[in-house]
Amino acid sequence: MAGTVLRRVLRRELRSVCLGVRSMASEAGSPTYQYETLKVTTPGEHVLHVELNRPEKRNAMNRSFWSEMVLCFRAIAEDPVCRAVVISGAGKMFTSGIDLMDLGSDFLQPGDSDAARIAWDLRRKVTRYQESFSVIEKCPKPVIAAVHGGCIGGGVDLVSACDIRYCTQDAWFQVKEVDLGLAADVGTLQRLPRIIGSKSLVNELALTARKMLSDEAHSSGLVSRVLPDKAALLLAAFDLAAEIASKSPIAVQGTKVNLVYSQNHSVQESLDYMACWNMSMLQSEDVLKSAQAALERKPLKDITFSKL
């Protein structure tokens, strides 16, 4: 069974390679995705696969990674062809977190600067790094995190900003920052409490830096599905992305925008925002096409929705 699944995944990836590792540049109006730390391919129609691509460094997040994440997901947000995204890690693990060797010097301050100027500069740098994952949340395209092996430190920040999380049985998650002498500052402490229902568990993970294994991640709600291995994980993530991409992009992206908005607003504020949103979006041709498909009992994958 595992061999069959692996062959299916490899065929999909090979097809992407045979198509020139398509970056969707061949599609009119679509960007070209070329980065040092990220590999972007198209495993299926309207689906992008963003792979953390420093396997020899266990996908440690170096200086280039933090800037390229922003560039990549801002491009994806504007890509008229892309409708769903899968993000995974190359090699033996998802990510080992921050590349301390590369980033350490970024936070060293000259000894002759006063405290206010040092603090001002550090705040500017921290907010810049925060945007590297906030850009995932801001992207209107649904993002599926496919985690295998370790997901450490900044990796938890990253997946917390994603919309859906799958993992393998051997996956584990670790909020590592307290062991490095700092509080997690790029999203975990803000997003994880909204994802995991137990405040006690979130506090325990953040204050002890202990590992959370896949079964606990599933039972606590951090991930919604656990797969036996990486091949099965990617297959499931690509299938999920393909299902999402088959639906109206107006409906899917509108749903994500309103889900994100509702996280930080009251029910009534969110309802008011939704009413204003749909007073225009309900006029979409996608509503008629979807309704017609339902009446004719046709799958949505057989319906052609216009680019968005």
Q: Say if CB 48 and CB 30 are below 8 A apart.
A: no
pLDDT for 10: 46
Question: Is the pLDDT at 8 greater than 60, yes or no?
Answer: no
Residue 136 confidence (pLDDT) above 90: yes
Element (H, E) at 144: strand 143-147
Banded pLDDT at 148 (limits 50, 70, 90): very high
pLDDT digits (tens, 9 = 90+) for 213-244: 999 999 999 999 999 999 999 999 999 999 99
What are the structural domains, with CATH classification, of the chain? Answer: 2-245 (3.90.226.10), 249-302 (1.10.12.10)
Contacts of 85 (CB under 8 A, 6+ apart): 47, 48, 49, 50, 76, 139, 141, 142, 143, 144, 241
Sign of the C-alpha dihedral computed for residues 115, 121, 124 and 127 taken in this order: negative
Q: Is the pLDDT of residue 260 over 60?
A: yes
Residue among 1, 19, 13, 7 at smallest CA distance from 238: 13
User: How far apart are alpha carbons 186 and 131 in whole angstroms?
Assistant: 8
Going by pLDDT thresholds of 50, 70 and 90, the confidence category of residue 115 is confident
Q: How far, in Å, are 37, 40, 66, 95 from residue 60 at the CA level?
A: 9, 17, 11, 6
Above 60 in pLDDT, residue 105?
A: yes
How many CA atoms, within 13 angstroms, populate the side-chain half-sphere of residue 77? Answer: 16
Residue 160 three-state SS: helix
Catalytic residue set: 98, 154, 157, 177, 185
Rounded Cα distance between 87 and 246, Å, is: 19
* 3-state DSSP assignment of residue 227: strand
- Interval 28-78: pLDDT, tens: 567 789 999 999 999 999 999 999 999 999 999 999 999 999 999 999 999
* Tokens matching residue 262: 């509702």
